[in-house]
Amino acid sequence: MPRWGMVIDLDRCSGCQACVIACKQENNVPFILPEQAAKRRTIAWIHIIQLQDERSETKMRFLPILCQHCDRPPCTPVCPVGATYKNQEGLVAQVYPRCIGCRYCANACPYTIKFFNWYPPQWPEEMKKSLNPDVSVRPKGVVEKCTFCHHRLMKAKEKAKTEKRELSPEDYQPACAQACPTGAMVFGDLDDPYSEVAQLSKDPRAFALMEDLGTRPKVIYLRAGA
Amino acid sequence: MQVTRRDFLTFAGFTLAGITLGEWGRSKILAREEYKDTLYSGIGKEEFRLSICGQCPAGCGIVVRLMDGNPKKIDGNPLCPLSRGKLCPKGQNGLQVLYDPDRLTGPVKRKGKRGENDWEKISWEEAINTVSQKLKELKEKQNSYRLLILTQENKGLSGKLWKQFARAYGTPNLVEGNLLRDPGILWASYLMQGIKDYPAYDIENTKYILCFSPFLEGWYSPTWAQRMYGNFRRKRPEIRGKLVQIEPRLSPTAANADEWIQINTGTEAALVLGLAYLIIKEGRYDENFIREHTFGFEDWTDAQKRTHLGFKNFVLQEYDTEKVSSLTGVPIVTIIRLAREFSELNPALAIAEQRPASGGFYLQMAILALNALVSSLDVKGGVIIQREVPFKEFPEVSGSKKESILNQERFSSQEVFPHLTKAILEEKPYPIEIVLIDKINPFSHCFPIINFKEALEKIPFIVSFSPFLDETSLYADLILPDHTFLEKWQDVVPSATLGSPVLGISRPAVDPFLDTKNTADVILEIAHDRDILAYSTLPWKNYGELLKDSLQGIYLSRRGMTYGTSFQGAWMSQMEKGGWWSPTYTNFEEFWNQLLEKGGWWDPFYEHQKWDRVFKTPSGKFEFYSQIFKNQLASIKPSKENSDFKILPHWESVVWEGDENSFPLYLNVFELLMFSAVLNSNQPYLYEHITPHLSVQWESWVEIHPEKAKALGIEENDEVWVESVLGKIKTKAKLYFGTHPEVVSLPLGLSGLSQSSWIKKEISNPNQLVTGNSGNLENKYLRVKIYKA
């Protein structure tokens, strides 16, 4: 079983936000209108955060943050209804109909990348045709987050099956990694020693966010700079 | 079936509730299921179709994923040499243009007063007839030169079509604004290299970039710039490109740079020449290149035996490091270090295309001169000149002999707009009677628009081709909405990017959703009225025919290939280098079909250091001292005094408009990656993520330094007025440490629409404050004051 993971090279990343928009288009993420957004209720499964350099006040860095798909996720044990769990693929999954909206998981997540649907999703009639049929639309009152475009994995598996072959890592990548124009995001099997993602994850520049918490994220970052 | 206690209770509970609460209760209980109306009911036939992104004029090839005929997602076309399967955020958001609920549904005629937003729907026949009638009347009165066509710069066939239409109809007044590049560099390139085209920068292969402009935001092709940036950093083993950003403000590009050097606004050219001074003084320039391929470096004597000052002595006289340091505010040690780094790391590249406010075209000349000193011209990792796409020529037409209302060629489109406005308002040398506006919205596309609204009011008949009700089309008398890009045949020649000529071709990815029409087809339809144009000047029934006919030129040129993988490109390049060419097609039909199948044509072969191709100056060399410029200046105003200073690249002090006491701060405007050059700003996802460097959504803002704000008593998110001599706007204050304490910064491009499904209140437009702030010989900047509203 592959261990799906991602490497984000911060030296390549320019904070252009192509991943952010790609994710929203792919996953039917609802718009949060101005008055609601003012309450910080915007949903963005992947988004860019600004980091201030501690050593110099006039330095800033961009860091794309998304669900880290931890091997030891802090968000799953707190769910009272089993709506969020680590699935067979090792991805942290979210079952929307089970979710009761208690937001324990969102509070337990140290990376704060779980989002609560404060409002029923709304699209103008014209725009409903753009919704991706592979991804369910979330109702009001549930928590949602990055799935590593799990629906793409399901599709790729089915396709491989009908073509009577093994699933190869090239068959599957999430929308953000596909869009990333700087080539900062690399996706693949962390356990396959020959894959690019596994090799990059052993780079001396590699680090994980809040490593000390022992969450063992499957999103690895590469430090910017020489 | 086994019924558990839980199932039973659930069932019983719901039934009971259903009975007691009736219809109202049932709808409440089932309310959570409401989202199900978006559940998919199609058969799920998946398709992928090629198209070209139309969010900006860069022309990246895209693939559209459709389910049962409805577009669901856009990604880059892996075969397109520009996008290579990748896309910028604007490109990713293309579907919100197609599905925009506020688009015009068909042609409309103005009912109320101009700008009142009151429209009456009309048929296409009536719309086209009205335009034809007006054009005919104008022509009959021998006044065809009183037609103004306002559009964006476009090297593809739809752009050529406008040019041909203007010439054949007999008007010299075709004004094209460039939405992606800085026209200053166009002129610098023409004067010093003799090439009337924008240069391209080989970012990917360079080792060091000295950058004066936020090149990762809204300039160039954003997808291309991002891709090249990534490769510049980490593609080459053992080589990591170094980026030094020199700007008054910490832009997102500066945040990404290895080093950000804050410089005083408007002194960039002085720093560039200060670097040239050190490179010359320390003998770090490429002597061979300077001797063989440049002109005007040393002092020289012309045909009349007059001695002229060369670049070398001029710089040595004028730009010593101490002086430059005090002017620019950059420490002397830093200048010395930059000069050494720039000349030692080879190839190195200096870029200063500044949008929206160019530092003047002397800055661009200085930049080219700096690149020439280290021989970064036409080499791998340097400044390169893109080759042309070999279209079949359009039929000859004589064109109008009348002088354009701009009465002379201007040095930038930023400068063109104030002149245009003035000429229209003053009706000098003659009034404009009809204006056709296509693919441009000067109000939000970073042009100085002071009085532009009044100028529009003055024109008796305004036709817009915009599919969106933007600020410009709001003033139109008639709107003939174009298709959006996914709905139409397209051809795009991207602005210079990779040196090789590229042409994107695509058929519609979807049938038009609404009653719109391709503008190119509308022009041809109008042109077919014999009283308007002679048929022979535009002998095509529709745009499709024109496309196919013009591509004959490419087919017959016997070079290049249809879009392919980078491996195929490298292979073709190798072959062409050896003088071979192996086409994948045997006749034109095959060529045409392959074009549509792959998405376009390109010629990957680029030969560096073909000096006769890249230096078309009178001397056949790169000219530090531009002879073209000398002749031009002499023809404008002949003077006896030694004007060498005016011709050599130099720094001119900036003129600040507004007096120091009442307007104590400087104004800086900047473009955003998300909104630069977009024709339709009504895109909710873009408004949710306007920029990565501040947390701001759905609104415009002004950046002010925290210390300055404290002194003025302004706090984060306060409503403030920003006022210049030209006007004032109300906006929200954001405290940002990355702006200079004496400068306030405003973003452009956010105010495309006053009202939409999402934006209910008007977003103030900083363009109102901006005058001809750039790219001109006068070099004017603005002073402002800021106070709490």
What DSSP string runs through B586-632? SSHHHHHHHHHHHTEEE-----TT-HHHH--STTSSEESS-HHHHHH
B755 in contact with A at a CB cutoff of 8 Å?
no
Do B422 and B296 lie in one domain? The reply is no
Strands of B212-265 (E only): list them.
Answer: 242-247, 259-262
Q: How many CB atoms lie within 10 A of CB A127?
A: 18
- The contacts of residue B789 (CB under 8 Å, 6+ apart) are B718, B719, B720, B721, B730
Write the DSSP string, B251-262. -HHHHHSSEEEE
Strands B147-152 and A115-116: unpaired
Query: pLDDT band for position B10 (50/70/90)?
Result: low
Q: How far is CA B726 from CA B657, B663, B722, in A?
A: 9, 12, 11
* Best mutation target, B105, B223, B226, to test chain A (most A CBs within 10 A): B226
Contact A183 B231 (CB under 8 A): yes
d(CA B475, CA B470): 9
Do B368 and B449 lie in one domain? The reply is no
- The answer to whether residue B783 is domain-embedded is yes
* pLDDT, tens digit (0-9, with 9 covering 90-100), for B138-150: 999 999 999 999 9
Mean pLDDT confidence for B183-205: 90
d(CA A18, nearest CA chain B) in Å: 4
Query: In which residue are the tokens 């799990």 written?
Result: A150
Query: End-to-end distance of chain B based on CA atoms, in angstroms?
Result: 70
What phi, psi does A6 have (nearest 5°)? -135, 145
Mean pLDDT confidence for B235-255: 92
Q: How many CB atoms lie within 10 A of CB B408?
A: 11
Mean pLDDT confidence for A5-20: 96
CA-nearest residue to B82 within chain A is A181
Query: pLDDT band for position B671 (50/70/90)?
Result: confident
**pLDDT greater than 60 at residue A200:** yes
d(CA B90, CA B153): 20
What are the chain B neighbours of A122 within 8 Å (beta carbons)? none
Task: Name the token pair of B522.
Answer: 């509308």
Which of A99, A112, A189 lies closest to A143, judged by CA?
A99
B689 in contact with A at a CB cutoff of 8 Å?
yes
B33 in contact with A at a CB cutoff of 8 Å?
yes
d(CA B263, CA A206): 34
pLDDT at A57: 67
Q: Which of B226, B256, B760 sits opposite A181 (nearest CB)?
A: B226
pLDDT at B9: 63
Contact B234 A225 (CB under 8 A): no
What phi, psi does A27 have (nearest 5°)? -105, 20
Q: What percent of chain B has pLDDT over 90?
A: 61
Q: Which of A12, A33, A131 sits opposite B38 (nearest CB)?
A: A131
Q: Which of B252, B513, B688 sits opposite A37 (nearest CB)?
A: B688
What phi, psi does B183 have (nearest 5°)? -60, -20
* pLDDT, tens digit (0-9, with 9 covering 90-100), for B36-46: 545 677 888 99
Mean pLDDT confidence for B368-379: 95
Which of B566, B515, B552 lies closest to B157, judged by CA?
B552
Burial status of residue A162 (CB atoms within 10 A of its CB: 0-12, 13-18, 19 or more): exposed
Do B450 and B527 lie in one domain? The reply is yes
Output Rg (C-alpha) for chain B, integer angstroms: 28
Do B161 and B208 lie in one domain? The reply is no
Which of B425, B442, B399, B412 lies closest to B163, judged by CA?
B399
Per DSSP, what are the bridge partners of residue B462? B435
- Structural domain ending residue among the three candidates B357, B387, B417: B387
Do B584 and B496 lie in one domain? The reply is yes
Mean pLDDT confidence for B486-512: 91
Asked which of B179-193, B218-232, B481-495, B773-787 is least confident by mean pLDDT, the reply is: B773-787
Please name the amino acid found at residue B22.
Answer: G
Are the CB atoms for B754 and B471 separated by under 8 Å?
yes
Are the CB atoms for A76 and A95 separated by under 8 Å?
no
What are the chain A neighbours of B40 within 8 Å (beta carbons)? 131, 133
Mean pLDDT confidence for B16-43: 58
Query: pLDDT band for position B770 (50/70/90)?
Result: low
Helix, strand, coil percentages, rounded to 5, for chain A: 25, 15, 60
What phi, psi does B729 have (nearest 5°)? -130, 150
Which of B494, B598, B467 lies closest to B222, judged by CA?
B494
Query: pLDDT band for position B643 (50/70/90)?
Result: confident
Contact B689 A21 (CB under 8 A): yes
Do B224 and B286 lie in one domain? The reply is yes
Per DSSP, what are the bridge partners of residue B149? B174, B436
Which of B650, B562, B554 lies closest to B602, judged by CA?
B562
d(CA A27, CA A174): 10
- Structural domain ending residue among the three candidates B342, B366, B387: B387
d(CA B757, nearest CA chain A) in Å: 8
Query: pLDDT band for position B397 (50/70/90)?
Result: confident
Mean pLDDT confidence for B574-597: 92
**pLDDT greater than 60 at residue B745:** yes
Q: Where are the domains of chain A?
A: 4-222
Which of B502, B511, B426, B549 lies closest to B58, judged by CA?
B502
Query: End-to-end distance of chain A based on CA atoms, in angstroms?
Result: 35
**pLDDT greater than 70 at residue B15:** no
Query: pLDDT band for position B767 (50/70/90)?
Result: confident
* pLDDT, tens digit (0-9, with 9 covering 90-100), for B303-333: 888 889 999 999 999 999 999 999 999 999 9
* Best mutation target, A8, A10, A25, to test chain B (most B CBs within 10 A): A25
B543-550 vs B519-527: helix axis angle to the nearest 10? Answer: 90
Contact A139 B38 (CB under 8 A): no
Contact B673 A17 (CB under 8 A): yes
Query: pLDDT band for position B409 (50/70/90)?
Result: low
Mean pLDDT confidence for A71-93: 95
**pLDDT greater than 90 at residue B20:** no
pLDDT at B495: 80
Q: How far is CA B618 from CA A149, B220, B306, B486, B612, in A?
A: 59, 30, 18, 45, 11
Strands B242-247 and B208-211: parallel
pLDDT at B303: 86
Query: pLDDT band for position B7 (50/70/90)?
Result: low
**pLDDT greater than 60 at residue B18:** no
**pLDDT greater than 70 at residue B636:** no
Per DSSP, what are the bridge partners of residue B261? B246
Mean pLDDT confidence for B497-520: 93
Mean pLDDT confidence for B373-379: 95
CATH number of the domain encompassing residue B208: 3.40.228.10
pLDDT at B778: 40
DSSP state of B377: B
Which of A16, A71, A26, A70 lies closest to A47, judged by CA?
A16
* pLDDT, tens digit (0-9, with 9 covering 90-100), for A21-60: 999 999 999 999 988 999 999 999 999 999 887 777 668 8
Strands A60-65 and B743-747: unpaired
pLDDT at B34: 46
**pLDDT greater than 70 at residue B3:** no
Do B361 and B480 lie in one domain? The reply is no
Contact B40 A133 (CB under 8 A): yes
pLDDT at B414: 59
CA-nearest residue to B229 within chain A is A182
Contact A62 B255 (CB under 8 A): yes
Query: pLDDT band for position B32 (50/70/90)?
Result: very low
d(CA A208, nearest CA chain B) in Å: 20
- The answer to whether residue B64 is domain-embedded is no
Strands of B122-241 (E only): list them.
Answer: 147-152, 174-177, 199-201, 208-211
**pLDDT greater than 60 at residue B658:** yes
* Best mutation target, A7, A8, A16, A221, to test chain B (most B CBs within 10 A): A16
Give the structural domain span for B277.
Answer: 194-387
d(CA A45, nearest CA chain B) in Å: 12
CA-nearest residue to A127 within chain B is B99
Tally the domains of chain B.
4
Mean pLDDT confidence for A130-152: 94
What phi, psi does B16 have (nearest 5°)? -60, -45
pLDDT at B413: 53
**pLDDT greater than 70 at residue B611:** yes
CATH number of the domain encompassing residue B664: 2.40.40.20
The SS3 of residue B492 is strand
Contact B101 A50 (CB under 8 A): no
pLDDT at B38: 53
Do B203 and B297 lie in one domain? The reply is yes
d(CA B554, CA B603): 10
Mean pLDDT confidence for A209-222: 96
Contact A62 B92 (CB under 8 A): no
d(CA A147, nearest CA chain B) in Å: 18
Strands B478-479 and A60-65: unpaired
Mean pLDDT confidence for A127-138: 92
- The answer to whether residue B636 is domain-embedded is no
ipTM: 0.95
What are the chain A neighbours of B83 within 8 Å (beta carbons)? 181
CA-nearest residue to A14 within chain B is B256
Q: What percent of chain B has pLDDT over 70?
A: 90
Task: Name the token pair of B570.
Answer: 């490298």
Contact B692 A17 (CB under 8 A): yes
d(CA B236, nearest CA chain A) in Å: 12
CA-nearest residue to B261 within chain A is A58
pLDDT at A169: 83
Are the CB atoms for B667 and B781 separated by under 8 Å?
yes
- The contacts of residue A75 (CB under 8 Å, 6+ apart) are A84, A92, A105, A106, A108, A109, A114
What are the chain A neighbours of B72 within 8 Å (beta carbons)? 130-133
The gap from C-alpha A94 to its chain's centroid, in whole angstroms, comes to 12
Mean pLDDT confidence for B497-526: 93
Query: In which residue are the tokens 């962390």 written?
Result: A190
d(CA A159, nearest CA chain B) in Å: 13
Query: In which residue are the tokens 């008593």 written?
Result: B713
pLDDT at B412: 54
| SS3 annotation, B450-473 | CCHHHHHHHCCEEEECCCCCCCCH
Do B216 and B159 lie in one domain? The reply is no
CA-nearest residue to B757 within chain A is A124
d(CA B30, nearest CA chain A) in Å: 12
pLDDT at B776: 37
Do B517 and B402 lie in one domain? The reply is yes
Asked which of B352-361, B443-452, B627-636 is least confident by mean pLDDT, the reply is: B352-361
pLDDT at B777: 35
Per DSSP, what are the bridge partners of residue B333? none
**pLDDT greater than 50 at residue B349:** yes
B519-527 vs B157-169: helix axis angle to the nearest 10? Answer: 30
Do B591 and B449 lie in one domain? The reply is yes
Contact B76 A179 (CB under 8 A): yes
Which of B134, B125, B159, B162 lies closest to B515, judged by CA?
B125
Do B496 and B556 lie in one domain? The reply is yes
Mean pLDDT confidence for B213-235: 90
CATH class label, A4-222: alpha beta
